């Protein structure tokens, strides 16, 4: 299963901590005349990075291609 960029949350919190996270919830339902089955799964990804003191927070950028992320900058 790939990642969709609208499902990824990226932000800066707590004085220079870059936070990247995603949460997924999937529900699959099958039924017929004699049975009914519901499968549920969920998962969460979260990563935090401390930014350097001289980071220009308002200039941070990120892009995502092919289900993965790419950092922009040096």
Query: Total structural domains in the chain?
Result: 1
Buried b (16+ CB within 10 A) or exposed e, 5-30: eeeeeeeeeeeeebeeeeeeeeeeee
Mean predicted confidence (pLDDT) in 25-41: 93
Residue 61 located in a structural domain: no
Mean pLDDT over the full length of the chain: 83
pLDDT at 28: 94
Domain range spanning residue 44?
A: 1-28+40-52
Residue 57 located in a structural domain: no
Contact indicator for 49, 14 with CB cutoff of 8 Å:
no
Residue 66 located in a structural domain: no
Mean predicted confidence (pLDDT) in 28-42: 94
Mean predicted confidence (pLDDT) in 16-44: 92
pLDDT-above-70 percentage for the chain: 84
pLDDT at 74 exceeding the cut of 50: no
């Amino acid at each position: 299963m790939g990642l969709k960029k609208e499902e990824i949350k990226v932000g800066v919190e707590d004085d220079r901590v870059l936070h990247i996270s995603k949460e997924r919830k999937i529900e699959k339902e099958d039924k017929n005349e004699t049975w009914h089955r519901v499968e549920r799964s969920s998962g969460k990804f979260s990563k935090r990075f401390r930014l350097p003191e001289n980071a220009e927070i308002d200039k941070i950028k990120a892009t995502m291609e092919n289900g993965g992320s790419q950092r922009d900058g040096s």
